[in-house]
Structure 1
Amino acid sequence: MTARCVAAAQTVVIKGDIAANVARHVALVERAAAEGARLVLFPELSLTGYEPALAAELALLPDDVRLAPLRDAAVRAGAVIVAGAPLVNPDGRPLIAALTFTPQAALHVYTKQYLHPGEEAAFAPGTGGAALDVHGSRVALAVCAEIAHARHAAAAADDGAQLYAASVLVSVNGYAADAALLQGHAATHGMPVLMANHGGATGGWESAGRSALWDERGELVVAAAGGGECLLVARGDEQGWSGRILR
């Protein structure tokens, strides 16, 4: 593959404050783009926090005016931005969505197919979505609990994904198991895996942070040391991957 540069933005979300979270997303995108990143991946429900009890109240339409700064940032930075939000569902409970803003001012919607036990009380299962074209590289999205379903990563690999990009909320206690799953997907399918986790508490969960990238052999390339806001920036070319953490 040609040279790639991707970023995972580990955020500390302000509960329910979409405008403030959007502004922080834009700042992180601009910093990542200055490092050369052409994909900036945010955690699950990064624009609102993981707040099932507030999901119906906070649910957005794709054309919500509050998302305009992200659309403009993608165009300005020439980067693909993937951010998380609850999405209005005309058929019932909100969907957990990954909203992708492209340099061409397009918006792609991915909705979480496999819910975590208990999430069905606040959310409806979604239908997934097509892989992204990130400057010539094919990127498959995953949202949190989907990484626990081997068929999800297998389908991404079968579809030709060159990167598996997982937006998650992983707690301190759950990190070892979920990191092992992602490492396994990378090694099994020869597919690099990028994971963006929350850097602070949200929805009653103490997030582990430790956003990471594993290469196509399943080897850990770079990971944040813990929680807090930071950017993971990783570069890959024919010689392999390298990465660093920016605080």
Structure 2
Amino acid sequence: MIIEGAGAFVTGGGSGLGEAVARMLAARGAVVHLFDRNRDAAEKVAGEIGATAHVGDVVDEVSAGNALAAAAKSGNGLRILVNCAGIGTAGRILGREAVLPLTDFEKVIRVNLIGTFNMMRLAAEHMSKADELADHARGVIVNTASVAAFDGQVGQAAYAASKGGIVSLALPAARELARFGIRVNTVAPGIFLTPLLHTLPEEVQKSLAAQIPYPSRLGDPQEFADVVRFLIENQYINGEVIRLDGAVRMQPR
């Protein structure tokens, strides 16, 4: 898939991994649309890279549908969807005071897994109606999972389950959407220096970095964006899940 001129949609584009992806796509000539719950963050990034900001929630069919419809009218149509929006609420199944509230588990599953699926299905509808490009291609979707899908730690039951679901979506979605010329791939990042980690004390950041075999540092969001670019441009990669983690394997705690 050629990025230049393509309509591209990035969820969670106002910060972190999503921001890095949005900047990469804009630098390569895509017509970028950002989707984020944080209006100020989305508009700030959009203003800096010449993109369009949309405010909404990935699990809201109306706001998501309207934003995707606008993106489908830009460039040569909606060709790229990168799902980066997500939350990471922690909680033990059996805590010291009580069991994990079912609503807490549901919230993480709803935002991370159902939100990813919602955006994917709505975007695929637009992509399927677009004109064919080279090699019968119409679009490409890149979802964001996590190494927690494979190495979930204590207190990550909800988060790991949500990301595991995203991993499991890759192959069946790729197989189903193949007839439309739409590819689906997933990136499972390890420990990256996102705004959340920036708030942690430097000693904690160093401790996390020391767990990573090589390179022993936190991941740079630009490295995540580089992998997303590769998955978009390489037409033969489909139904794949790529760990991007410096060979880290998370310990139980």
The verdict on a shared fold, with TM-score over 0.5 as the criterion, is no
Larger helix percent: 2
Larger strand percent: 1
Greater C-alpha Rg:
2
TM-score (norm 2): 0.37
